[in-house]
A and B are shown apart, each in its own frame.
Chain A
Amino acid sequence: MRSGIDRTLLGWLLLGWIGFTVLPWYALEDGLLDPSWILAGPVGDRYTASGLFQGLLHGRPWLLPLLPALLLPLAAIRAEADPERRGLLLIAAGLGGLAWLAAQGLAVDHRGPRLAWLVAVLPEGARQPGIGAGAAALAIGLLFLLAHGAALRGAVKGDSFVAGAIGLVVALTLLFVFFPVATVLSSAFRDNAGAFAPSLFLAKIGDGRIWGLDCLWSDYRCGVAWNSLFLAVLVGLSTTALGLAFALLVVRTGFRHKRLLRQLTLLPIITPPFVIGLAIILLFGRNGTVTQLVAGLFGIEPGRWIYGLPGIWLAQTLAFTPIAFLVLIGVVEGVSPSLEEAAQTLRADPFRTFATISLPLMRPGLANAFLLGFVESLADFGNPLVLSGNYDVLSTEIFFAMVGAQHDAGRAAVLAIVLLGFTLAAFWAQQRWLGRAGYTTVTGKGESGLPMPLTPGVERLCRAVALPWALLTLALYGLIMVGGFVKFWGRDYSFTLEHLWRAFAVVPGEHGLVWSGAAWNSFTTTLLIAAVSAVPTAAIGLLTAWLLVRQHFAFQRAFEFATMLSFAIPGTVIGIAYILAFNVPPIEITGTGLILIVAFVFRNMPVGVRAGIAAMAQLDRSLDEASLTLRATNAETVRRILLPLLRPALLAALVYSFVRAMTAISAVVFLVSARYEMATTYILGRVENGDYGLAVAYCCVLIVVMLLAILLFQWLVGTRRLGRRPVPVPALAETPA
């Protein structure tokens, strides 16, 4: 038996004590490097003191009840004592401490106590800013003490590491997914002064501007909800049809440029979402090439027809077809050739086989592709913003309600709830209905059948649909590559580097080089924040995947649903939720780089989870078990066995979250500040000012940077694959749920 002091407990307790007695309790302007804190020390003043001294000396006595939560664990520090009793002590300390921490933070904010009776009890001028390093360290310490206590009492087979990991993921998900969404919900029920007003909610959610059907019988517009739904269904149908044509062409025919077509699936990953919209304007806008060509040839007055439903539909179909393609490649490949061969030996001709066996087997996959296109369309923000014209959709309406002249947070919240309702319904349908209905036709047994070639008629159809579309896609991307290097699109097509130079100029100055280009600020911020957020995204994602695949604990399904939830929440909803939740204490991080990082981590984490689950599914569970029976702990097993074997998945998660962070727009547009401007929001700003040249040139640079990142990744993984160890290499792509 172990004896002496419980080191795990000691470590976390120490962190808690440092957080409470040494580190500054509240957030400082310049973080921990703020000189005022270092000079003043833990006793400090109202701004810099640690929690203990804030409570003792600086008029914040409500912090002192946290002290028992740090004293209680001392009684459990000896490892020999009864584990049940020690566990109980730690659970009490952890739960009590965390609950008090949350309660006091919500009860007293920057304006003072939020409940009337508290005003009488608390000292004059009781108010507090957002929490800082000290409170965060204490919270982390208490969280792990709680998990350790639960493990001591036999939770998750008594494994403190697993308990801690679960606790960490749950706490982060609660804090950064559920808390903001709950804030949106609650603010929808309040008027703009903050009072509870359920009748106002009913009025707002039933608003004619959301649900109106006037367009059916009059010239008035329909509600945004119908607009969004209609668009989403159209886009879902068109992307699925096109994706199926592409997938059949690639998997089931002898088409010669298969590899090239497959590369199309990379495009949406490296493309900021509004780039397609931009390219469409360059082609079909009033000054667009096609528009002018047609005007010149037929004398038709250039119109604005592209702004509205046709434009958004075209842009979204172009943007999301590769996603459907990617999903459907797997679906088409998954149809077992032996089933088709069986049908043929039963006298079905090739067309009948395709119609009665292959297509029905693909049905769940097709439904899945449709739902993906549907959700992507609902959540898309960039394309509607540049192309919507008079056709309002939910995602942009939320934005204008929040930041526009209306500045109606309540209306934004209501719209966000409607949008969230739609996407959650789709997500739920996907999980509930498709998750079970999938026909697993690929079995573990070796199958030797050859995939059946398409009948000539079907193949001709696929070619006729897919190839022009592929050419259009390539043409648009070509346009983006060229568009930044002409003087004035639509009028003067002579070559120039002027736009690129305006964005990325570097001139020699007095003290070395001066990065005088207009884009440098947002570009470096984007690179930095994308890189910084990639690390926790991959780490938390893989940790969650490990918990889901390799561990068993109570409420695991709920845990999985909660961690995947942020995937289903549209970016605009996340954006508004973060603004509403983190603009005021206790967690006040609006306007910082931190809020951008947090937003990226929790938006992209599900991708890391998926990558991890896919990679771990290929690692035999007996590897972990072998390690455990050889006396390694869970933590050691993760470090020595899983991490080395999952390195490609880890790399994929890193690169993917980096790239996604670089191209994100919908959530970010709410969260950027003058100090932390992102590339995508900067580009959108240029587009709104009609400065297409610079915008397009900047897009080019972004795409090239991301392409380089991905090629670097593929090179890294590729060289590993040449090594003598067979390691599962996950596809660097969106894995559909």
Chain B
Amino acid sequence: MSRPAALRFEAVSKRYGTVTAVDAISFAVAVGELVTLLGPSGCGKTTTLRLIAGLELPSSGRVFIGEREVTRLPATARDVAMVFQSYALFPHMTVAQNVAYGLVVQGRPKAEVGERVAAALAMVGLEGLGERFPSELSGGQQQRVAVARAVVLEPQVLLFDEPLSNLDAKLRRRVREEIRELQQKLGITSVYVTHDQGEALAVSDRIIVMDRARIAQEGPPRELYEAPASRFVADFIGEANLLPVEIARVEDGRASVRLGPVRLELPARALGVGPALLAARPHAVHLAREPGPGRLPARIRKATYLGAHMEYELESEAGMLLVVDRAVEAPLAPGTAVFAELAGSGVCLVPA
């Protein structure tokens, strides 16, 4: 990372009594980057976001925004802004008053406030709606007001707490694009919290996957999907078949793996000889009717028609396999004997 960090956590922990919500995590976010905190509920991602905002203060560790240490500073004194899950628009203020709020409490001159509010509303495409009350707007519009209210302060770091969770599925995709576009246009450093891995893959420069108060893995979306570092990450991002395997030999970074009756050659990823897990994406398993080298004999247990593709549940010596097959035209009936070939970028080894 050559760019300076806009946000840095150094071994930050947050404990509530005996419960540790965030356990000594460290990471940095570069200027202009959008980083997503991803994880199941209760993994500490929202607490991490609130620690950035200053709504919670850490039990130990240090927090930096820009060059300045803000560990003990409350939210009021930090140069961040947040888009809340519920939007948290003030119901007794108009849209314009909502957007102006942060500027007004800072005592900015009236003319400047008016100008900046108008610019922010124009930016999110809400010109002319300034005099409405939040309750008179649609969900998507309310969401944009929340974004405008946050960006109008030109914060060093912009925080999103599951901003799409209150929108219906169709709207979600559009607003997701809008947020990403706006963030890139303004070049504003952002931290985004979600439990939806699809959303995370779509908007992020980098994803930090959290599990039980710790960071499980961080990296660009592609890396996380294709090379998960653990069973948890493989399972959480996208679906994955996790099959127990035995690494027999490692040579030149390639591992020779025994999966049931077949042998496979895969990148070793720093694993040694011994038991491991093979993570295979359902679309990376190809079905053939004839046996061949590296093909795992199996039987179809269940076939489900899902419109765009077929979903098969396979029974094999190595275990159960979930397979996605594009060939909708010629579905295979349950009971059919098939041979599964595990190949390509969707297959990799992870520690057992």
Residues in chain B near residue A640, CB distance under 8 A = 101, 105
Interface residues of A in 122-163 (CB under 8 A from B): 154, 157-159
- Let me know if B55 and A629 touch, CB within 8 A: yes
Residues in chain A near residue B342, CB distance under 8 A = none
- Let me know if A622 and B91 touch, CB within 8 A: no
Most buried by B among A154, A631, A632, A727: A631
- Let me know if B90 and A623 touch, CB within 8 A: yes
- Let me know if A645 and B80 touch, CB within 8 A: no
Number of chain B residues whose Cβ lies closer than 8 Å to a Cβ of chain A: 32
Query: Given A724-B133, A724-B136, is A631 in contact with B105 using a C-beta cutoff of 8 Å?
Result: yes
Distance in Å from the Cβ of A530 to the closest Cβ of chain B?
A: 30
Distance in Å from the Cβ of A682 to the closest Cβ of chain B?
A: 43
Is B197 engaged at the interface, CB distance under 8 Å to the other chain? no
- Return the contact of A157 from the options B74, B81, B133, B149 (Cβ within 8 A): B74
Residues in chain B near residue A154, CB distance under 8 A = 72
- Return the contact of B92 from the options A627, A636, A645 (Cβ within 8 A): A645
- Let me know if A623 and B88 touch, CB within 8 A: yes
Query: Given A629-B81, A630-B149, A724-B135, is A641 in contact with B55 using a C-beta cutoff of 8 Å?
Result: no
- In this complex, what residue of B is CB-closest to A647? B92
A726 and B55 CA atoms in complex are apart in Å by 27
A663 and B77 CA atoms in complex are apart in Å by 48
Residues in chain B near residue A725, CB distance under 8 A = 91-92, 133, 135
Residues in chain B near residue A641, CB distance under 8 A = 90
- Return the contact of B74 from the options A623, A628, A636 (Cβ within 8 A): A628
Most buried by A among B77, B80, B84, B149: B84
Is B18 engaged at the interface, CB distance under 8 Å to the other chain? no
Residues in chain A near residue B55, CB distance under 8 A = 625, 628-629
Total number of residue pairs linking A and B with CB closer than 8 Å: 83
A640 and B57 CA atoms in complex are apart in Å by 24
Distance in Å from the Cβ of A573 to the closest Cβ of chain B?
A: 36
- Return the contact of B86 from the options A159, A622, A724, A727 (Cβ within 8 A): A622
Give A633-649 as 1s and 0s: 1 = Cβ < 8 Å from B's Cβ atoms: 11010001100110000
A222 and B333 CA atoms in complex are apart in Å by 89
Interface residues of A in 295-343 (CB under 8 A from B): none
- In this complex, what residue of A is CB-closest to B83? A626
- In this complex, what residue of A is CB-closest to B55? A625
Residues in chain B near residue A30, CB distance under 8 A = none
Distance in Å from the Cβ of B145 to the closest Cβ of chain A?
A: 11
- Return the contact of A645 from the options B57, B85, B91, B150 (Cβ within 8 A): B91
Is B106 engaged at the interface, CB distance under 8 Å to the other chain? yes
- Return the contact of B101 from the options A620, A632, A633 (Cβ within 8 A): A632
- Let me know if B105 and A629 touch, CB within 8 A: no
A629 and B72 CA atoms in complex are apart in Å by 15
Interface residues of A in 231-251 (CB under 8 A from B): none
Query: Given A632-B101, A724-B136, is A625 in contact with B84 using a C-beta cutoff of 8 Å?
Result: yes
Residues in chain A near residue B136, CB distance under 8 A = 724
A725 and B55 CA atoms in complex are apart in Å by 27
Give A694-737 as 1s and 0s: 1 = Cβ < 8 Å from B's Cβ atoms: 00000000000000000000000000000011110000000000
- Let me know if A158 and B74 touch, CB within 8 A: yes
- Let me know if A631 and B153 touch, CB within 8 A: yes
- Return the contact of B88 from the options A626, A724, A727 (Cβ within 8 A): A626
Interface residues of B in 58-101 (CB under 8 A from A): 72, 74-78, 80-82, 84-86, 88-92, 101
A400 and B54 CA atoms in complex are apart in Å by 58
Query: Given A631-B105, A645-B91, A727-B92, is A620 in contact with B75 using a C-beta cutoff of 8 Å?
Result: no
- Let me know if A622 and B85 touch, CB within 8 A: yes
Give B123-142 as 1s and 0s: 1 = Cβ < 8 Å from A's Cβ atoms: 00000000001011000000
> What secondary structure prevails in chain A residues at the interface with B?
helix
Is B53 engaged at the interface, CB distance under 8 Å to the other chain? yes
- Let me know if A625 and B88 touch, CB within 8 A: yes
Give A582-625 as 1s and 0s: 1 = Cβ < 8 Å from B's Cβ atoms: 00000000000000000000000000000000000000101101
- Let me know if B75 and A629 touch, CB within 8 A: yes
A159 and B77 CA atoms in complex are apart in Å by 11
Residues in chain B near residue A622, CB distance under 8 A = 84-86, 88
Query: Given A645-B91, A726-B135, is A625 in contact with B85 using a C-beta cutoff of 8 Å?
Result: no
Residues in chain A near residue B78, CB distance under 8 A = 629
Residues in chain A near residue B102, CB distance under 8 A = 630-632
Residues in chain A near residue B86, CB distance under 8 A = 620, 622
Residues in chain A near residue B106, CB distance under 8 A = 631
Distance in Å from the Cβ of A602 to the closest Cβ of chain B?
A: 31
Distance in Å from the Cβ of A719 to the closest Cβ of chain B?
A: 15
Residues in chain A near residue B54, CB distance under 8 A = 628-629
Interface residues of B in 309-328 (CB under 8 A from A): none
Distance in Å from the Cβ of B105 to the closest Cβ of chain A?
A: 4
- In this complex, what residue of A is CB-closest to B82? A629
- Let me know if A644 and B92 touch, CB within 8 A: yes
- Let me know if B105 and A630 touch, CB within 8 A: yes
- Let me know if A628 and B135 touch, CB within 8 A: no
Interface residues of A in 59-77 (CB under 8 A from B): none
Residues in chain B near residue A631, CB distance under 8 A = 76-77, 102, 105-106, 153
- Let me know if A628 and B92 touch, CB within 8 A: no
A360 and B124 CA atoms in complex are apart in Å by 54
- In this complex, what residue of A is CB-closest to B106? A631
Residues in chain A near residue B57, CB distance under 8 A = 157
A628 and B150 CA atoms in complex are apart in Å by 12
Distance in Å from the Cβ of A631 to the closest Cβ of chain B?
A: 5
Residues in chain B near residue A724, CB distance under 8 A = 133, 135-136
Residues in chain A near residue B92, CB distance under 8 A = 644-645, 725, 727
- Let me know if A632 and B84 touch, CB within 8 A: no
- Let me know if A158 and B72 touch, CB within 8 A: yes
Interface residues of B in 22-64 (CB under 8 A from A): 53-55, 57
- In this complex, what residue of A is CB-closest to B90? A641
Most buried by A among B82, B92, B106, B135: B92
Query: Given A631-B106, A632-B76, is A625 in contact with B82 using a C-beta cutoff of 8 Å?
Result: yes
- In this complex, what residue of B is CB-closest to A625? B55
- Return the contact of A620 from the options B76, B88, B105, B159 (Cβ within 8 A): B88
- Let me know if A159 and B133 touch, CB within 8 A: no
A159 and B54 CA atoms in complex are apart in Å by 13
- Let me know if B135 and A636 touch, CB within 8 A: no
A296 and B64 CA atoms in complex are apart in Å by 91
A632 and B90 CA atoms in complex are apart in Å by 13
- Let me know if B91 and A629 touch, CB within 8 A: no
- Return the contact of A632 from the options B72, B81, B105, B135 (Cβ within 8 A): B105
- Return the contact of A726 from the options B90, B91, B101, B153 (Cβ within 8 A): B91
- In this complex, what residue of B is CB-closest to A159? B74
A726 and B92 CA atoms in complex are apart in Å by 9
- Let me know if A625 and B135 touch, CB within 8 A: no
Most buried by A among B101, B136, B149: B101
Distance in Å from the Cβ of A82 to the closest Cβ of chain B?
A: 14
Residues in chain B near residue A629, CB distance under 8 A = 53-55, 75, 78, 80-82, 150, 159
Residues in chain A near residue B77, CB distance under 8 A = 631
Distance in Å from the Cβ of B79 to the closest Cβ of chain A?
A: 9
Residues in chain A near residue B82, CB distance under 8 A = 625-626, 629
Contacts A645-B92, A727-B91 aside, 20 further interface pairs with beta carbons under 8 A come to A623-B88, A623-B90, A625-B55, A625-B75, A626-B82, A626-B149, A627-B90, A627-B101, A629-B55, A629-B81, A629-B82, A630-B81, A630-B102, A630-B153, A631-B77, A633-B76, A641-B90, A644-B92, A724-B135, A725-B91
Please list the 7 inter-chain residue pairs (A to B) with the smallest Cβ-Cβ separation, ordered nearest first.
A630-B102, A626-B88, A622-B88, A628-B75, A632-B105, A622-B84, A629-B82
Interface residue ranges, A against B (CB under 8 Å): 154, 157-159, 620, 622-623, 625-634, 636, 640-641, 644-645, 724-727
List 28 contacting pairs A-B, 8 Å CB cutoff, sorted by A.
A154-B72, A157-B57, A622-B84, A622-B85, A622-B88, A623-B88, A623-B90, A625-B53, A625-B84, A626-B89, A627-B101, A627-B105, A629-B80, A629-B81, A630-B101, A630-B153, A631-B77, A631-B105, A632-B76, A632-B102, A633-B105, A634-B76, A640-B101, A645-B90, A725-B92, A725-B133, A726-B91, A727-B91
